[in-house]
Structure 1
Amino acid sequence: MVNTGSEDERQAEIDQLRATATNLSQCLNALQQRMDELEIGRNETSSKTPQDNHTDDQKFINDGPHTSDVQVDQRETITIDPSTGVRKRTVVTEKVITTRTYQPLSSPTDSKKFNISDTENSIERHLNTILAQAYEARMVSVNSDDLRKVDVELICGEPVVTRVTPEISNLIHPGDTIIEVNGNPVHNKKELYGNDGVVRLKLVTSTIYNAPMVFCRALADYNSDLDSKKPIDSLSISIKRGDILQILSTDGDWMQARKVNDLSRVGLVPKSLKGEQVAMLTPYGRRVLVLLGANGVGRRTLKSMLLSQMPHHFGSIIPLTSRAPRPGEQHGREYEFVTKEYMRELIRKGEMVEWGELGGEIYGTSAESVRRVVRSGRVCVLDVAPQAMKYMYSAEFMPFVVVLSPPPFDELVQINKLRGATAKTEAQLHTICEQNEQLLHCEYAQYFDLILVNRNHDISFRRLLDSLNTLKQEPQWVPLSWLC
Structure 2
Amino acid sequence: MVLFEKIEKGIRSNILKMEVADLNGKKIQDKVYNGMDKQSPIEFNGVNETELLYLNSLMDSPLLNPVVRVEDTVKEPPPSPSPVSSDNKDLLREVQIRCNRAYSRDARELADIINSVHFVSLLNTHDQIAQAHNKSDKHCNTPKLFPENMTGDTFRMVGVRKKPGEPLGLTVEVNENNNLVIARILEGGMIEKQGLLHVGDIIYEVNGVPVSSPEELQTEISKKKDHVTLKVGNALPSETHANIVDGTGQNGLTKKLTCYMRALFEYDPQEDTLLPCKEIGLPFERGDILQIVDQRDPNWWQAKKVGGDGTTGLIPSVELEERRKAFVAPEADFVHKISICGARISKKKKKINYQSKSSCDFDKAELLLYEEVTRMPPFKRKTLVLIGTQGVGRRTLKNRLINSDPEKFGAVIPYTTRPPKVLEENGQSYWFTDRETMEEDIKNAQFLEYGEYNGHLYGTHLNSIREVIKQGKMCVLDCSPMSLKILHNSSEFLPYVIFIAAPGMEQLKNLYDVGRSNTNLRHSSRNLAKT
Q: TM-score, normalised by structure 1?
A: 0.28
Question: Larger strand proportion, structure 1 or 2?
Answer: 1
Q: TM-score, normalised by structure 2?
A: 0.26
Higher relative contact order (CA 8 A, sep 6+): 1
Structure number with bigger Rg: 2
